[in-house]
Amino acid sequence: MGTWTTRGLRGSTLEEMINRTNEWYRDRRLALIQKIPTPITPVRMDKEHRQITLAYFQERSTVDYIGAVQGIPVCFDAKECVSDTFPLQNIHPHQVEFMQDFQNQKGVSFLLIYYSTRNVAYYMRLEEVVYFWDRSKAGGRKSFRFDELDPEFFLQPERGYYLPYLNPLSKDLERLDAET
């Protein structure tokens, strides 16, 4: 099982932007999305600062967020990247499997990837995740490059802390409807 130390704060910028966005969407009755907490067992505490400094994950998490947008079930995982190359090892097999199972049940699954050095986020459709995943399993690249991504699905943070992911979600739904 994995452990958590200060690495656990990776992605906190993205998570904060998503949480604020989700509050904004909830307040306007556009969506109800919840953060799924990952259960941990604390091992070491910094008593002076009252913080967990070492913990073990109790179980594997599936995705970071789950909920509904205008009656449509959605789930997604948040990933942060500091370079233009995203290593696929940051996406776990059980996550891909869960997202595929979720989508097979008529939900929509995706990743939100925040490229922190560029201050830009990307809505990665499950179809795209699977494409890169299968390519790596077939002996291809174990990562994907920023320039391989579909320009139609990039999003800029608004007001510095909102990620308007409902717009690319609408585009994703249109593509999914066209496929059925």
Q: Which of 106, 73, 77 shows the shortest CA–CA distance to 90?
A: 77
Q: How does strand 72-81 pair with strand 108-115?
A: parallel
**Is 77 marked as a binding-site residue?**
yes
**Is 64 marked as a binding-site residue?**
yes
Tell me if 61 sits within 8 A of 94, measured CB to CB. Answer: no
**Is 150 marked as a binding-site residue?**
no
Structure tokens at 123: 């809505």
Q: Using alpha carbons only, how large is the chain's radius of gyration in Å?
A: 17
**Is 147 marked as a binding-site residue?**
no
- CA torsion sign for 130, 135, 141, 146 is negative
- CA torsion sign for 95, 106, 79, 11 is negative
Cα 55 from Cα 119, distance rounded (Å): 30
- Torsion (CA) 35, 36, 41, 45 in degrees, nearest 10: 0
Binding-site annotation: residue ranges for Mg(2+): 62, 64, 77, 95
Binding-site annotation: residue ranges: 62, 64, 77, 95
